[in-house]
Amino acid sequence: MKYMLLINSAGTEEAEQACEASAEDWMAYDKAVREAGIYVDAHSLADLTTATTVRVNAGGERVVTDGPFAETREVLGGYYVIDVPDLDVALDWAARCPGATGGGSVVVRPIAEFEV
């Protein structure tokens, strides 16, 4: 069963700087995920200030805006997709993720499976 771990960092810059896990922590975590044979995919996202939002309105017109900006307390900073037997195992991996500490959080979402 595949789960996406959505890694949210604490919204404010101060909190981010104060609590951010070290690069070594992330490398160790990434290595552990790969060695456990559960790795499917993972990416870290560039800073939110580089984000652009696209909407297509009812008239078919494309509306492009800068942002979004960090209005919420947490900002999506990256994700992992892992393949594990059940939710308990997924939650264990989420808890080990450096992004879950220091005011950040990891949201665990099952990947929908469609029967063919």
Q: Cβ 87 to another protein, closest distance in Å?
A: 5
Q: Cβ 62 to another protein, closest distance in Å?
A: 34
The neighbour count for residue 104, using CB atoms within 10 Å, is 22
Output 19 or 95, the one with its CB closest to another protein: 95
Spatial CA neighbour of 91 closest among 72, 78, 74, 110:
110
Q: Cβ 113 to another protein, closest distance in Å?
A: 9
> Position 116: which residue type?
V
Output 42 or 107, the one with its CB closest to another protein: 107
Output 46 or 87, the one with its CB closest to another protein: 87
Catalog residues that contact another protein under the rule CB under 8 A: 1, 85-88, 91, 108, 110, 112, 115
Give the DSSP letter of residue 49: G
Output 47 or 113, the one with its CB closest to another protein: 113
The neighbour count for residue 7, using CB atoms within 10 Å, is 25
| DSSP E strand stretches across the chain | 2-10, 39-44, 52-56, 62-66, 74-83, 105-110
Q: Cβ 5 to another protein, closest distance in Å?
A: 13
